[in-house]
Amino acid sequence: MKIAAIQHDIVWEDHAATQDHVVPLIAQAAAAGARLIVLAEMFATGFSMRPERIAEDEGGPIEAFLLAQAREHDAHLIASIAQRGADGQYRNNAVLAGPAGLVHRYAKIHPFSHAGEHEHYAAGERHLTVDVDGLRVTVFVCYDLRFADEFWACAADTDLYVVPANWPEPRREHWRTLLRARAIENQAYVLGVNRVGLGGRANYTGDSAIIDPMGRTLAEASLAESVLVADVDRGEVTAVRSRLPFLADRRPGSAGVTADPHRGGTAG
């Protein structure tokens, strides 16, 4: 199965302009045969702490754009959007839009408190794993990458972790290292897609990558807008875990090993 990471710039707080900008990039990924296409965190607006200005209700026009693109290209799209739930709270939701019109949402479990995200967006409480054409895909968002226990909790049911991000240039080596670490320790594919360009007062250098279960980089890019495409195979995950059964040696009770009924679960 081919998957794609779209490393793109964002027009600050202007979802219409950014949507127009990413349309040809999505088409390029689809033309390369990608069945799963991933854009950045808050892909349409940038990582703004003004949800009252940029957020939409769940099912709003930015989500509708993802669905329309999924239908047009017969592919699954993932991107994060600032959204307001039925309870009136704003969340940083990763939306998975399918070509048949099905939508899944994952609310970022770890808002980035260093930038005050927790003051504007409520934390999510549940993991999300979705079957996409036979590939078990688990979705996280940006800062979640620093919390290995969240990834551990989903490892047994995951072939591919997807991490859309707005990860700034000063900590770029953290991003690159943690992506590889999450792949190696969980023996799964990792797709990390980061934006490029200036957003607010931050500079973003991309460093998007697709990494295999052995920690080998299949595709990567830096600085410039890029469409990364790579082949992934659920059978490779099974083979690596069979040949090197490291997951079985995690002690019961270790972080992320014992399922929490409020945090776990799958959707498909």
Catalytic residues: 41, 108, 142
Strands 2-7 and 36-38: parallel
Cβ neighbors of 265 (< 8 A, separation 6 or more) are 126, 127, 128, 129
Q: Which of 204, 201, 224 is nearest to 48 (CA)?
A: 201
Q: Which of 39, 46, 15, 14 is nearest to 25 (CA)?
A: 39
